[in-house]
Every structure is written in C-alpha cells, then in structure tokens.
Structure 1
Amino acid sequence: MSADTEDQVQLLENLPEIMEKLTEELKELYKYRDLFFENHPLDMAYKKNKCVEEKKELLVEKFEAIDVETQIPFSLRAEFLYMKGRCYNVSPTYDPRATQCLSKAIKLNPHLVAAWNELGECYLKNLNVKEAKASFEGALKHERNRLSLRCLSIILRHEIGDMKRSESTPIILKSVDLAKEAVAQDIKDGISWTVLGNAYLCQFFMVAQDPCTLKLCMSAYKQAWTDPVAKGQPDLFYNKGVALKYEECYGEALQMFEHACRLDPAWVPPRVERSALASFLAAATALVRTRGKLKAKRLANMIQSIDKKTMLGDYGSGAFHNFGPRRDVVLEHVRIDQLQEGPNEGKVILGRVVGSIHNENAVPFTFALIDESMQCVCVTVYNWADGRGALIGDAVAVPEPGLAAHRHQHFEFKSIRVNNPMFLLVNGKRVGRHQFASTRVTSTYEIH
C-alpha cells in the first residue's frame, strides 16, 4: 500500500474528527467577521474584508484538499458541501464556487434547510432575487426558520417597485408579519430586529403615516442595538439614519450616516445620504438667514400685499375645523415670531414664500416662509406630488404649525413640518387631493 493510500485510509477513519474541526473553524471564521469591531478599532474598517478573505482562503485550502467524491461517504456529502459552500460565502461579494457547492448539497439532501438559506444568500449577493426567493421558500417548506422569514420580508419589499398603493399595501403588511415571526423565533437576534425595523419604516411611508408605526420602527432598531453582531453592521446605522432624517432629527441622522461610513468605507449609499443631508441643511440655513436673497423693497411689497381676509380663507373665518382626532377647532391667526417650539394648537400663520430648496428625491418639498414679523422659517411638506409645490411670492397659510429648532455644528434654522399638504392654503385656496402623493421610501439598502 502506497503512502498516499495510507493517508487516504487514515483520513476516512478520522472523518468525524475532521468534520468537527472544520465545523469549529467555520464557526470561528464567521465569528471573526461578524464581531470584527468588537475586537478591532474602527480605523481598521478598510482592512476588514481583506482580513476576512485571508482567513477564508486558509480554510478554503483545507476544504479543497479533500476530494468529496472519493474521501467523503455519500451520507455526509451534502453536509460537507454545505460547509464548503458556506466557507466560500463568507465574503461580502458573490462567489460562484459557493453556489456550485450549495446547489449540489441540496440535490443530495433537499431537506437540508441551512443549505437552502445559504444558497438564497448567494443569489441575493448576485442580485438574483427570483432565485433567492425560491431558495428561501424552499427552506420554509421543510422548517419555519428566522433566516428564511426575514430574507423573504426583505425580498417582498424589494418586489414592490412602482406598484400602486392598493397593490403594495398587503405585500408590505405581509413583509412586516414575516419579520415579526423571524424575531419571535429568536428575540436576541439583532439582524432580525433590524429587518423588522426596516419593514416598519416601509409601512410608515407606504401604508399610513401613523406615528405609532415609526415608534415601533425605532423600538426595533433599539432592540437590534443590544446584539453585537447587528451593531457591527453598517446597514443598521444607515437605515436608522434614514428613519431619523424623516423624523427630522437631523443631527442624529448625520451621526448614523457617519458611523455607517466608518464601518464600511467602501459602501456608497451612506456617503451619498450624508452628503445630500448636509447639503440640504446648509441650503436651509442659508435660505432662512438670507430670506431667499430677496431685496428689502421686494420683501416689503410682498408682505404688505398680503390680504389676510382672502388668503386665510376658511382658516380666518371663525369656522370649525378637524385636525386628526381633534374636532371643532377654531383657529387664531398669529405671527411667526409668536410661535412656540412644539405644537401650536388653535393657531394659524400666513406668509409669503421667499424661496425653496431643490431636493434630488423631492422629499420633503421645502420652502421658506416670511410674514410681517420679518422672521423666516422653513416649511417641510411631505406627500406633495412631484412637480407641485409653492412658488416664490405665493401666500401660504399653515394651520396648527409644529415648530422645531435645528442646531448642529454648521447649521441652525427653525422649521415647520407638514405631513399632509391638503391642510395648506396656497393663495387662499386649499391644496387639492390630486396634489397628494404618498411618500415612497426606496433607500433601505438591504439588497446591495
């Protein structure tokens, strides 16, 4: 018997120990990747992928040194190929070798749920959403498990595209239910909590802008924070930044985008969002400070020409109005400088538009308003149909304005948020229903 044959016989005899050792090393490889920032400073973020790849290749050599067909018994081949495929798949980018191994593993053992899920992850990395969905659904046929559930939640939201609200609403709600079921499988899994937070964020903007939904979103992100694996993922910080931006907590949103950039310096979306938000805040600060750069004479003429009786319309007539759950509200006209920070129930302001801010995604439509107090304030309007909005010189009445002050490093201004443009009066006329368009959020980058 040759030395090679002796080595082969010895390998077969020690196979259980070898499989156990490979399993442990694979577990350590994923632990090294997932908890990288628990053991390394953020300054090493740009080296993370390279460090993981180096460790991956060392383990790959051990897997590839074993001939599956001749050295692994048939009963263990599916498990071995799954482990080998999972080793290839530790990279953030698609590795076709992983798909090959995992596809073979499933053919050998269609009941191997972990292999179905890993194959689905491969397809997602390759942006093959259709095959990824089939893989996760294949896993669920054999076992309800959190990984399949949360990935299908992501895919359902990805498939919505440009559907009408009536078509997309049941899909979004199903996405939320799948994410909730994933969390219920293991309430300590921060990745599942992150996916649930993203699902709630999508529901908030595309189903109904219920503040309770946004509260559930933030609560889910808070739960994710307790898991060191989730806390090391840039997605969590990025998506929370998106939520904070729409809550108009701008300083915190910038911090989230900044941290996402530090966790993954090569990932473009957080850098784009951070830059866009910083530009918006600088533009808002300048617009308010300069009052739209309009000359004093023009400003004076604009303000003096405001006809309160006509331009306040129903809001100035002493009529009763309904605002959400509040009924029979009578509004009192006040100047902008008389507003308090926070809600100003029972009040209405009227001013002229002195400028607006160009926003790439048109959300929110933002303009600056000034009245006889000469105080200027930004008005951020959500759900205003693209191409609509107030023009310079328009007289705008805002009922029950909620005033917020924004101060953070290089920006400082006050703003009023309007979720429903149909509450506004523009030149004495109420904004029509045809100008309402639900805000659509497409920036939760769960599928890169």
Structure 2
Amino acid sequence: MSLDSDTEADILENVEEVMDNLLKELQDLYSYRDLFFENHSIDLAVEKNKRVEEKKEVLVEKFESIDADTQIPEVLRAKFLYMKGRCYNISPTYDARATQCLSKAVKLCPALIDAWNELGESYWKNMNVKEAKSSFEGALKHERNRLSLRCLSIILRQENSDKKRSEAHAAIMKSVDLAKEAVSQDIKDGVSWSVLGNAYLCQFFMVAQDPATLKLCMSAYKQASLDPIAKGQPDLYYNKGIALKYSEIYDEALFNFEYASRLDPPWQPPKQERMRLVTFLNAAHSLVRTRGKLKAKKLATMVQAIDKKMLGVYGEGLHAFAGRREVALEHTRLDALEDGPNEARVILGKVVGSIHNDNAVPFTFALIDESMECVLVTVYNWADGRGAIIGDCVTIPEPLMRTHKYEAEDVSFDFKSIRINNPLLLLVNGKRVARNQFACTRVTSTYEIH
C-alpha cells in the first residue's frame, strides 16, 4: 500500500460533518459566554468563568481526540486548526495552545482572516502588542473587517498614551477613524460601538476638549448597550463610568462602576475607580459643608478682604467666550448663580481649602464669597503642581454651575460645583493663569478584547 493511500485511510469518515458539528459546538460555547447574562442572573457572575471553562474543556477534549496532520484533509486543516485555537482562546487568560494552533492555521492559509484575528487576540492576552498588531494588519491585507479595525484602534491609542499631545494627535484621530470604519461594517455590533466610544473619549482629552466629542462618546456607549453581547461586558460600564466621572455626572458614574464590578467580581479596576470616586465625593461634600473647616472669624476676615480690583480684566470692557458675541460681565454673588451656564456673569471669591487627588485631575478647591455660600470648583488641564491655595482670590467668568445630590450606603453628598475646562480663563489674585500652567488631561480606560 502506498504512503498516499495510508494517509487517506487515516482521514476521518464524514470529516465535513464532524467539522460542522465541532463548529456548531464552538459557536454555542461562545454564545454561552457572550450571552451569559441574557440567560442567567447577574448573581451568578462569579460562576461565569468557571462554567465557561468547564464547557471549554469538554470541547477541547473532542478537538484533541483528532490528529489534524493525519485525520483532517489538507484542504480543511487550516480551518480545523483555527477552530481548535479559537476554542483554547475563549479563556480570558492566555493559552499558549491557542497561539500554536492559530499560527499553524495562518501559515497553511494566509487568507484565513478569522485565524489572523484570533491569533492577534491570543498575542494580546500575552501582552505581545507587536505581534498582535502584526496579526490584525495581516487580516486587513486580505479584507477590511470590523474586528481587525477596532482592535487596531485600541492598539493605536495604547501605543500613544504616553506620548506628548502633539505627537499623539495623528494617531488618536486615526484610532477614531478605524473605530468608525469598524462600526460602519456592522452598525448593530455593540462591541465596535463601545470601542468607538473609547476612541472619542481619548480624543476629547488628548486632542481637543470639545463638548460635542464627549456627546459622541456617550452616544456610542448608548448604541453599544443595545447589543446583548456588548451590554454583558463589564468593560462597557467601566469605560462609561470613566466618561461620566469626567462629565461630573457622579451618580451615574458610581452606578456604572458598581455594575461593572457585579458583572465581573474578580476584576479590580471598577472597584478601585469607584472607591476613588467615593473618597473624592465624600471629601468634596465635607469641604463645602464645613467651608474648609475654617473658623468663623477667619472666614469673615477672608471675605472682607475680597477686593473687586481682583476682577482684573473681567471687571471692565467686553469679552467673548466660545465664539459668542462680546459681552460685559456682571459681578455676581455665588448664591445668585443658577444651575447651568451663567452667561455674562463673573464671580470672585476666596479659596478656603482643596482636595488632594492622586491623579491631580481635576484640581479641586472650595470657593466662598461675601454671600458666605461655598461651592466646589473643579479645574481640568491645570498642570500638576499648579493651582490655587487657601487665601487666594479666584475670578471665574461665565461659571458653569451644577448641583450634585446622592445618597447610598457608603457615600452621601449634596453640594454645588463649578467646572473649568480651561484654566487659562481663570484669574488668580487678579492675574491670568500663565500658558505654561496648561497641561492636557490623561484619561485611562480599559478594554479587554473578546
């Protein structure tokens, strides 16, 4: 008997049927994982990975009972190895067997896009960003596809997260474009929408703090939540929580961090981020309520020392903000401010205390004026080590006021705050903040490829 006939004799009977059955079981396994919370209570989240692993091992046994080199015909071998590698790769942690199978698959069939993408995800789990990027680019050489596009979008942002704003600009915008293209490939794919939301969030902080960009970010997350697969992923809620925190919608941020934790109890970042936010909010509430814990006599002395000369350039002439027509600013007391924009108004007060923030973002202090009203002021993009100190006189044109009120077991707050995106608009002791004190905000978001 010839070698060829020996080889043919080893080929599985009904091999295509066997492959179809394995593919169906593989698809069912991924559906079980991706739609877990569509079919199970969130209280079972702690069991999810264990249950997926148990089902994985059953299927792994079936794959490993077949010798790809002898029992699978060459024409189907790449597909079989891809399926086997994808089975190994369902785990959240790196499995070297996945890389081995998938590497063989792309060598046998370089046009097998799914194998390239799966290989990229496998490398990613092993923190091998260079090879992951190469794999996704390998897939794109054959076809523009949403998985490669959105994964490259993520990689581009991460590669440029530590670069200067000017250096990162082009890469961040390319990241947004890749994510947009991924969405355009399938507008119902919520994971692509989630990645686009992250790209917009990065653009908001790293390129230009345009409120319209933040709206696009939140809109993308909203679209993502319509997809049953995306809405079951903790990453969506964690990243949305980050966006809400920087939007100062604190109650919703707390909810999203908590929900992310419930979806993946062992995952620490949502718990840590929520804890940091709770600490900040409790400190903010206390700082405003106690007016910096300064004694009444000292407060009275500080308030009496407020000199309208400290209105500086805002005390006279016309001023234009956000491209609107020039207006004269009216000096307004803190207790007369309204929630929302206070156009054509300027406030002047004394700093009574500040909050130490490990991230230095935002720089946060409490301000009081002759009305004895105390408000929180959050300033973004103020260089680390800069800021106002107790006793400084701060002038803020057209303050944007918001009332924050919330109560839960571990956090209770009720205070008003004024948000400043551009510190260069401020006057400290009558002088404009210098340009060298401006620094772009660094924002961290976490996305795990699935």
Instruction: Mark the CA change 1:447 to 1:377 in structure 2 (over 3 Å): closer, same or farther.
Output: farther
Aligned to 2:3: none
What is aligned with 2:387? 389
Identity of aligned residues (%): 73
2:15 match: 15
* Offset, 1:70: 1.5
Partner of 2:314: 315
**Alpha carbons of 1:11 and 1:69: their partners in 2 closer, same or farther (altered >3 Å)?**
closer
SS in 1 for 2:395: strand
- The residue that corresponds to 1:363 in the other structure is 361
Q: What is the Cα deviation at residue 167 of structure 1? A: 1.2
Matches within 5 A, 1:235-254: 235-254=235-254
Match of 2:197 in 1: 197
SS at match of 2:359: coil
2:72 corresponds in structure 1 to 72
**Does 2:430 align with 1:431?**
no
Deviation at 1:315, TM superposition (A): 1.2
Pairwise CA distance, 1:440 = 1.7
Counterpart-to-counterpart distance in 2, 1:12 and 1:402:
71
Is residue 2:207 matched to residue 1:207? Answer: yes
CA RMSD of aligned residues (A): 1.6
User: Which residue in the other structure is 1:45 paired with?
Assistant: 45
Cross-structure match for 1:336: 334
Q: Distance in 2 between matches of 1:154 and 1:259?
A: 23
Q: Is the 8 A contact 1:127 1:447 kept in 2?
A: no
Q: 1:333-371: per-residue Cα shift (whole Å, max 9, x none)? A: 111011111111111111110100111111111000001
Task: Give the SS at the match of 1:329.
Answer: coil
- After superposition, the Cα gap between the structure-2 partners of 1:391 and 1:312, relative to the gap in structure 1 and judged at 3 Å, is same
Deviations 1:223-261, CA, capped at 9 Å, x for gaps: 111100000000111111111111110000000000000
CA distance in structure 2 between the partners assigned to 1:103 and 1:86 by the alignment:
12
Using structure 2 for the length normalisation, give the TM-score: 0.96
Matches within 5 A, 1:136-175: 136-175=136-175
One-letter amino acid of the counterpart of residue 292, structure 2: G
1:326 alignment partner, SS class: coil
Question: Is 2:438 the partner of 1:419?
Answer: no
Scaled by the length of structure 1, what TM-score is found? 0.96
Kept in 2: contact 1:150–1:192 (CA 8 A)? yes
- In the alignment, which residue of structure 1 is the partner of 2:267? 267
Query: Structure 1 residues 201 and 446, CA, compared in 2 at 3 Å: closer, same or farther?
Result: farther
Superposed displacement of residue 295, structure 1: 0.9
Deviates more, 1:294-303 or 1:34-43: 294-303
Partner of 1:100: 100
Mapping 1:209-224, distance limit 5 Å:
209-224=209-224
Deviation at 1:442, TM superposition (A): 2.2
Distance apart, 1:327 and its partner CA: 2.8
Q: Deviations over 1:389-431 (max 9, x none)?
A: 0001101011111110000101111000011001111001010
Letter aligned with residue 374 of structure 2: C
Which has the larger displacement, 437-446 or 171-180?
437-446
Correspondences of 1:51-66 after superposition (within 5 Å): 51-66=51-66
Q: How far, CA to CA, are the matches of 1:21 and 1:347 in structure 2?
A: 70
- Aligned counterparts of 1:90 and 1:447: Cα–Cα separation in 2: 11
> Deviation string for 1:34-90 (max 9, x for gaps)?
000001100100110000000000000000000112111111111110000000001
Separation in 1 of the partners of 2:222 and 2:75?
Answer: 44
8 Å contact 1:154–1:446 — kept in the other structure? no
Of residues 221-230 and 157-166 in structure 1, the stretch that sits farther from structure 2 once superposed is 157-166
What amino acid is the match of 1:349? I
Mapped pair 1:348 → 2:350? no
User: Is the 8 Å Cα contact of residues 377 and 415 (structure 1) preserved in structure 2?
Assistant: yes
Is 1:135 paired with 2:135? yes
1:322 counterpart letter in structure 2: A
State how far apart, in whole Å, the 2-side matches of 1:170 and 1:401 are. Answer: 32
- SS of residue in 2 equivalent to 1:144: coil
Shift of 1:9: 5.5
Secondary structure of 2:222's aligned partner: helix
Contact 2:11–2:70 (CA<8 Å) still a contact in 1? Answer: no
Q: Is the 8 A contact 2:179 2:195 kept in 1?
A: yes
How far apart are 1:329 and its partner, in Å? 1.5
Q: Quick one: distance in 2 between partners of 1:12 and 1:401? A: 74
**SS of residue paired to 1:390:** coil
Higher mean Cα deviation, 25-34 or 354-363? 354-363
Aligned equivalents of 1:314, 1:116: Cα separation in 2: 60
Aligned partners of 1:425 and 1:431 also within 8 Å: yes
Within 2, Cα distance between the matches of 1:23 and 1:288?
60
Looking at structure 2, the residues matched to 49 and 252 of structure 1 have their Cα atoms a distance apart, in angstroms, of: 27
1:307 positional shift? 1.4
Q: Distance in 1 between matches of 2:79 and 2:336?
A: 71
Tell me the distance in 1 between the aligned counterparts of 2:400 and 2:150.
37
Structure 2 gaps of 5+ residues are 1-5
Offset at 1:110? Answer: 1.0
Matched to 1:270, the amino acid is P
Structure 1, unaligned runs of 5 or more? 1-5
Whole-angstrom distance in 2 between the partners of 1:231 and 1:442:
20
